[in-house]
Amino acid sequence: MASELQKKKWANMFNMFDVNGDGKIEQADFELFHTRLYEMRGIGPGDAQFDDLNGRFAGFAQALQQVTQSDSVGMDDWISFLSGVANAPQKYQIVRPISEAIFGLWDLNGDGHVSLSEYRKLCTVMRLGEEYADQIFTKLDLNQDQRITVDELITLSDEFFVGDDPAAPGNLFFGPLN
């Protein structure tokens, strides 16, 4: 059973993927969101990073469809799916590789770190805006070295998907908790 905190943060992620705002996530929403990510990174079909990430997202979408038995996912199904992910380590394994792959998309200059300017671009793709990036980046930068490493991202991802600590910075990853 998901806590109220988990429901709030997972709703933020739902709203990010529901690109057309119709209250459900469909394949077209995933494709539009992915297109924004790929354009930010400047990759496309035939690029190894594009193909790898597409495969990981396809696995996530497949798992979601298997659980919901539908090509369209509403908020209730989304919360139920992520509740199952949070409570079953084998299911969480479909999420973690996506987090790792996304790190490569954020690291625009390939230096192994995500800077504030790189995170601003991601927040634009997520429709949160650069202002949100400016407000939250220092909280996400766990060791306060002005960059986010893949290890920090994995910690933040774990906090977001399976954590229930109201003070955890990972809760804010996909937007403010309203």
Instruction: Encode pLDDT of 8-56 as tens digits.
Output: 999 998 998 899 999 998 888 888 888 888 888 788 888 887 787 777 7
Name the pLDDT band for 171 (thresholds 50, 70, 90): very high
Predicted pLDDT at 38: 82
Indicate if the pLDDT at residue 96 is higher than 70.
Answer: yes
Name the pLDDT band for 102 (thresholds 50, 70, 90): low
Predicted pLDDT at 161: 87
- Output the pTM of the full model: 0.81
For residues 16 and 33, what is the distance between their CA atoms, to the nearest angstrom? 8
Indicate if the pLDDT at residue 142 is higher than 90.
Answer: yes
**Angle of the 150-162 helix axis to the 75-86 helix axis, nearest 10:** 110
Predicted pLDDT at 1: 81
Q: What percent of the chain has pLDDT over 90?
A: 37
Indicate if the pLDDT at residue 105 is higher than 90.
Answer: no
Indicate the SS3 state at residue 109: coil
Name the pLDDT band for 101 (thresholds 50, 70, 90): low
Predicted pLDDT at 57: 73
Tell me the domains of the chain and their CATH numbers.
4-164 (1.10.238.10)
Name the pLDDT band for 62 (thresholds 50, 70, 90): confident
Indicate the SS3 state at residue 148: strand
Predicted pLDDT at 67: 67
Predicted pLDDT at 167: 95
